[in-house]
Amino acid sequence: MIDAYDSALATVKKYHLPDGCTGEQFETKAHGVLELILPNLERPLTPEQITKLLVKFLPINLKMEGNRLLKNIEAAGRLADHELVVRECVTLVTKYQAESAHNGPRLG
């Protein structure tokens, strides 16, 4: 039987943050999962699985940047540094949001 925390994790994984979300929204989601869900899972995730999960929380339009970030973190041997991953993701989201606001909506 799936417990409530496994179900909660499945739900958070299912819904991506929207394009143009704020860094604060990303950080809230990431820390919520790190602090409330992951410690209570019946079968804990590995540090690498957690890092990949956090990067997958990025909005879909930042998928390529997220993959690059993941490779850089792996190359630096920092896959278990989840606070670093959250900070780097927040930076990406904030940068994209600022660029979108500056450039305005993109047409077709």
| pLDDT band of 98, cuts 50, 70, 90 | confident
Q: What is the DSSP letter of 80?
A: T
Question: What tokens does 93 get?
Answer: 């989201």
- With the CA atoms of 60, 65, 44 and 30 taken in that order, what torsion angle do they form, in degrees rounded to the nearest 10? -70
pLDDT digits (tens, 9 = 90+) for 39-83: 999 999 999 999 999 999 999 999 999 999 999 999 999 999 999
DSSP count for the chain of H helices, then E strands: 5, 0
